[in-house]
Every structure is written in C-alpha cells, then in structure tokens.
Amino acid sequence: MPPILSPFELLTLAAAHRLGDAAYGVTIRDDIGVLQGRDAAMASVYAALDRLEQLGLVKAWMSEPRAERGGRARRHYSVTASGRESIRRAHADAMRLWQAVPVPPAGKRR
C-alpha cells in the first residue's frame, strides 16, 4: 500500500522533483514558498525530508565539499522511483477529483 503523505510532505516531494539535481534544503524551501505562496520553516522541510527518506521516496546524497561552507558538503536529495510514482498517483488523484468538481462562481465572502 502506498504511503499516505501529508500535504506538506507531498509539496516537499514535488519541490525536490521539480529541482532535480539542484534539490537541497535551501532550494527546496524556496520552491515550496513558490508553490504554496508563503515561506516554510526550515525545520518543517527537514522533518518532511527525513520522513520521505525513511519511506524511500527520496534519497540523500552529499555534494562535493564547498569552500563557502567551510569545506562541508551539501546534503542533496533526489526523488526515487517510488517517489516519482507517489507524485504521479497524487497528481492523477487530484486531477480526477478536481475535474469532477464544478468550480463555484466567485462570490462575496461572508
């Protein structure tokens, strides 16, 4: 049975997928900000990445040591085949749902 992801985990997975090889904490956080329209806490991003990694949906890898980080490497993430399958399924579910729901007309909010 595919793992059940929270909306934020799904968002994190989608951001990592969009970024490809450039996906690491900062870029994923920035991309989530673009996708959901507001900033995400870095701790939330890392918590989501930790769980996605445990579920086997993303895989961490270390970059080359970087001078601006005092010789430390960045922890990058790449989406695994299972992760891509989760994205595909979530996308299909969302499309099926929203295609079946008529969009209500814009009205005054009460």
Partner 1 sequence: MRPPALARRLLARAVPPHMRDSFLDDLDEVFERIARERGLHRARRWYWRQVLAAAPTIARGRANTSTATTEATMFTHHAFTQQLVSAWRTIRRSPRPVVGVVLAMSLGIGASTAVVTVAEGVIGRRLPFTQPGELLQMQTIVEKYGEAPETNFQDARDIRTRARTLAAIGLYDLEDAGVRTSEDSVAIPAVVVSADLDLQRVLDLRPVLGRLFADDDMALGSAPVAVVSSRFWRSALGRDPGAVGHSLWIGSRRFTIIGVFAGGITGRVMVNGSAVFPRTCMAGNPATSPAIG
Where do contacts with partner 1 occur on this chain (CB under 8 A)?
6, 8-9, 24-26, 29, 41-44, 46-51, 54, 69, 72, 74-75
At a CB cut-off of 8 Å and minimum separation 6, what does 20 contact? 78
In angstroms, give the least distance from the CB of 35 to partner 1: 15
Closer to partner 1 by CB, 20 or 65: give it: 65
Q: Which is nearer to partner 1, 70 or 102 (CB)?
A: 70
Q: How far is the CB of 3 from partner 1 (least distance, A)?
A: 10
In degrees and rounded to multiples of 5, residue 33 shows phi and psi of -60, -40
Phi, psi of 73 (to 5 degrees): -90, 160
Query: Which ranges constitute the DSSP H helices of 1-110?
Result: 7-19, 25-36, 42-54, 81-100
Instruction: Give me the least distance between CB of 42 and partner 1, in Å please.
Output: 5
Q: Which is nearer to partner 1, 44 or 78 (CB)?
A: 44
Structure tokens at 105: 């007309």
